[in-house]
Amino acid sequence: MIRVGINGYGTIGKRVADAVRAQPGMRVAGVAKRSPDYAAVGADETGYDLYAEDAAPFSAVDITLAGGVEDLVRESDVVVDATPSGVGAENRPLYERHDTPAIFQGGEDATVAEASFNARANFAEASEADYVRVVSCNTTGLSRLLAPIEELAGIEKARVTLVRRGGDPTQTSRGPINDVVPDPVSLPSHHGPDVRTIFPELAIDTIALRVPTTMMHVHAVNVSLAEDADAGEIRDRLAGENRLLLVPGYAGIEGTGGLRDLAGDAGRPRNDVWENAIWEESIAVRDGDLYCLQAIHQESNVVPENVDAIRAIAGEADAAESMATTNEALGIGLERFEGRERAADRQIAD
């Protein structure tokens, strides 16, 4: 069993802990928290061993700690660092002292780790590293989409406009409240350079906007293809990717709120959408350029990547085996649209 410590039990950490617990061959060694908030109480009630530097605040609310953060690192085979951006880099010396491999999140600079990671695109690179950074939610989503397109038709250049949520549901200090904000106003946004940590040779430009919602990000994608491919070929290839969900027109899902509602109806924990959700009717090819719209659930889409990074860094599986195991354990893949006639096919038949 791979003993996995989770350092940080917030938006990402609590989801990774639950995902690890669902995996064969893994167990949660414990989770580390700074304060005894509602998430800490939830972790305690779930049965996770809790670790923190200061026991007094936890004792005050009847939470017994298993030890300090250093104890958790010592007792773990791999640590997933899900602390706030910038804190992970400060934590790396702690992991190094105990020779404990660690996985960082996309909020850290790429220099924090030996490799940036996306399971679909560069799984093997992590198998030779002790410190890996799972790229951000947006970079994860773009990597999942661009990898099969590159394999099918090649990419001359990708251009992406990212419409970003203002904050997660718990981030009450974030915004904007009633505005649309270029983020940044200059080209490129940080997302294009981050994608190139996965695809070093890719020509990509990105620009981003922040909007007043907590639901999901939306990407407007334009890819200049190196070889001829029509929209049907693109759709078929993307439909075969297990972490891409093609949403047909007949589903009546007009926005990100409907996607979250769909996930809840499907019994997903926390209404999580682990896959890229691509509106099928948005997929079009015009004069050698591919266009599509996809939604990225920023709270959850990196969770399966963290699980795969654990297996990669531990040398436990190759990409295909790990992704299949992760997907099966979590129930990734909304099957209610499979086997049904696609809206695009009906239009062609008509």
Catalytic residue IDs: 137
Task: In whole angstroms, give the CA distance from residue 296 to residue 279.
Answer: 12
CB 213 within 8 Å of CB 178: no
Neighbours of 286 (CB within 10 A): 9
Measured in whole angstroms, the distance separating CA 288 from the mean position of its chain's CA atoms is: 29
Provide φ and ψ at 208, rounded to 5°. Answer: -135, 155
Peptide bond into 184 cis (omega under 30): yes
Looking from the CA of 338 toward its CB, the CA atoms found within 13 Å total 9
Q: Tell me the Cα Rg of the chain.
A: 20
Q: Cα angle at 120 between 114 and 124, to 5 degrees?
A: 40
| Other Cβ atoms within 10 Å of 203 Cβ, number | 13
Distance set, CA 81 to CA 61, 90, 348 (Å): 25, 11, 49
The tokens of 289 are what? 């350029």
